[in-house]
Structure 1
Amino acid sequence: MPRLGSTLLTLALAGVITLAAYADPVFVGAAVVLVQVLIALAPSAVDPSGHSIRSPHFVAALSGGLVATAITLAPDLLNGADGTSSDVVGATDNGMLAGILPAIAVSLFVALIAQMLRKDGRPNLVPSTAYAVTLGTFAALTAGWIGAAQSLGEAEAVAVGAGGLAAGMLVWLIPIDRWICASAAVLAGAAGGAAVAISVDSTLTWIFGVAVGSAAALFGVLGQVLGRAWARGRSTHASAGWGFPGALSIALAAPLVYVGGQLVGAPGL
């Protein structure tokens, strides 16, 4: 079953992130860096004819992810000289993803430097650069798990998101029509998120679990689909077969879990 490896990887990463959230956000950051490395190891892009496009993307993608992780863990890094501190720093104490835009900027800067260092005439310059920056954006989004652990929902919000994601991924393994399977995966994510929200020792409600769990499952499935389509024809590459799709599911679910953590305490949730 071609989806088995990437799905199991997503489940393992979600479990590690959840356990880390109950320990300390720094450990969540370590797990997030692992996901970012897997994203940065994505196989080279291909052109419409199926030929590889040379794209020095690893350093650009990973540098963007590391910047997002560092700023999310230590928002004071955004402080400038005395009297020039950004007003946004005070808001980052509750897990604000203030590191996303700086991360994308760093990815672009590093990607451009990598292109300048090429000595092959720089064919496919635009798609090559865009590929590296896109991977950097995916890597940066993964920091949402850190933001969720720092939010009002704390580790419990992470557990709900991971529970919904895991339930959806398990259903995604069923060999039936993909549209039906995706719909069932979202429903399973809602049920899984609700079950975790009810079982954890917190004020989270089953409504919160349904909302966050279904969203995490939906974007987890999208990560699997996009990751495999992105690396189509590169199945001999380990990162194409399971590494990149599995990590991308974690990355795309992260912002939804983060938003859920920010909504803890809202009326009806």
Structure 2
Amino acid sequence: MTRVESTLLSIALAGVVTLAAYTDVLLVGAVIVITQIMVAAAPTPADASGRPVAAPRFGAAAIAGLIATGVTLYPQVLLGADGTQAGSVGSVESGVFAGLVPAVAAGVIVALVSQMLRKDGRKSLVLTTGYAVTLCVFAALAIGWIGAAQSVGGAPVVAVAAIALAAALLVWLLPFDRVVIGSFAVAAGGVGGALAAPYLDDGSGMTWAFGALAGVGVALFSILGQVMGQSWSSGRRHASGGWGFPGALSLALSAPIVFVASQFVGVSFTLS
């Protein structure tokens, strides 16, 4: 497998998320669920000798992702009954990472139950449990794109992030020294964000400086997603058992940066 398939998938997913953000946030949620399923379908881990280890993981990561997406789209589910104090605690704004904790907690429970149901002697218990829990976190993180679509900046912020991601990953494909190309790829993400932000601004206050900072962050973590996804199963030559995993992981790892950036729309960035 080459990096081309996973890169094109990441760019395609970011593009579809952008189109969905300009249409309806529920469509953004649908794309994110697809991304989370791809993360949940990660290759099996490998032991120290490079041999694959049976690790129940799909159910836990999928449950974590679905709960995170559901709570992010409908945060009112965290509200308590009328007349109770839970309402003030559970009251959250749309797009806040309110679903992360319950999602990961549910994923951990499913992961532990899955381990209890294993009938193979539970070999590499720590490795397989940690693997499943990590996938739960990755799947849940993808909701950052939903939060950004619901923020003050809305769809334009998502579009700027998608452009930065695409610029960075296209440069990352170039066949040169990885450190050098990585530096150029991060810079390309910053330039792409800086150029796109003023052009796409709809009055929310996106400046070139905002686009540059957001672009650099998105570029860095989208590249990290590619690297981690392609070398996830340590010791195996065919480390990326499915090109969907690294492609989806780029979107998942960059999601928190997109969400945080969306909270700074309109903030003045000055150099002193």
Q: TM-score, normalised by structure 1?
A: 0.95
Alpha-carbon distance in 2 for matches of 1:103, 1:216: 23
> In 2, distance between residues paired with 1:132 and 1:236?
17
Give the letter aligned to residue 20 of structure 1: A
| Partner SS, residue 91 of structure 1 | coil
> Contact between 1:198 and 1:206, CA under 8 Å: does it hold in 2?
yes
The reply on whether 1:209 has 2:211 as its aligned counterpart is yes
Q: Tell me, in whole angstroms, the C-alpha distance in 2 between the residues paired with 1:265 and 1:89.
A: 27
Partners of 1:155 and 1:248 lie apart in 2 by: 21
Aligned position for 1:78: 78
My pick for the range that moved more, 199-208 or 137-146, is 199-208
Shift of the alpha carbon at 1:120?
1.7
Q: How does 1:5-20 map to 2 (within 5 A)?
A: 5-20=5-20
In structure 1, what residue type is equivalent to 2:246? P
Q: Give the equivalent residue in structure 2 for 1:264.
A: 265
Could you say which structure has the higher helix fraction? 1
How far is the alpha carbon of 1:133 from its aligned partner?
A: 0.8
Count residues with an aligned counterpart: 266
**C-alpha deviation, 1:10, in angstroms:** 0.5
1:268 maps to a residue whose letter is F
Listed as ranges, the matches of 1:191-230 within 5 Å are 191-202=191-202, 203-230=205-232
Q: Does the CA contact (< 8 Å) of 1:56 and 1:132 recur in 2? A: yes
Pair 1:174-2:174 in alignment: yes
- The CA deviation at 1:66 is 0.5
Contact kept? 2:81, 2:87, Cα under 8 Å: no
Residue 88 of structure 1 deviates from its aligned partner by 4.4
Find the residue that maps to 2:26 and give its secondary structure: helix
Which residue is equivalent to 2:26? 26
Which residue of 1 is the match for residue 249 of structure 2? 248
Once residues 80 and 211 of structure 1 are traced to their aligned partners in structure 2, the CA distance between those partners, rounded to angstroms, is 38
- CA contact 1:43–1:234 (8 Å) conserved in 2: no
Which residues of structure 1 form unaligned runs of 5+?
A: none
The residue type paired with residue 170 of structure 1 is L
1:42 corresponds in structure 2 to: 42
Stretches of structure 2 that go unaligned for 5 or more consecutive residues are none
Call closer, same or farther: CA 1:237–1:213 in 2, change over 3 Å. closer
Change (3 A) 1:234 1:101: farther
Distance in 2, Cα, partners of 1:234 & 1:70: 37
Structure 2 SS opposite 1:92: coil
User: What whole-Å deviation, never above 9, does each CA across 1:62-100 have from its counterpart, x for those lacking one?
Assistant: 10011110010000111123304253433323x111111
